[in-house]
Amino acid sequence: MYKRRRPLLIMWISKRNLISACIIIGLLTAVWFLMVPPDVAVLAPFSEAVSGKKVVIDAGHGGIDPGAKAPGITLEK
């Protein structure tokens, strides 16, 4: 025969109280994320950061296209 185990929970929580606790924890987490300042500060507006510069966007390579090749043996990765 098997030995009867004791329940691990000391306090039984109703479904309503569990849902309420999850909502409260979610709201507190959301408030905390909104109050914490971002780690990265923006030093200049976007227009000043790229003024006078050219931005080139290269499409992803796949298949038989190996990408750009620099003089020598340097390949784009």
Question: Residues of the chain whose pLDDT is less than 70?
Answer: 1-2, 5-11, 41-50, 58-63, 65-67, 70, 74-77
Secondary structure of 49-74 in HEC code, one letter for each residue: HCCCCCCCCCCCCCCCCCCCECCCCC
Spell out the domain ranges in the chain.
12-58
d(C-alpha 75, C-alpha 57), whole Å: 17
- The pLDDT value recorded for residue 38 is 72
d(C-alpha 34, C-alpha 19), whole Å: 23
Distances (CA, A) of 68 to 20, 23, 40, 54, 75: 57, 52, 32, 18, 6
Q: What is the DSSP letter of 12?
A: -
The pTM (predicted TM-score) of the whole model is 0.37
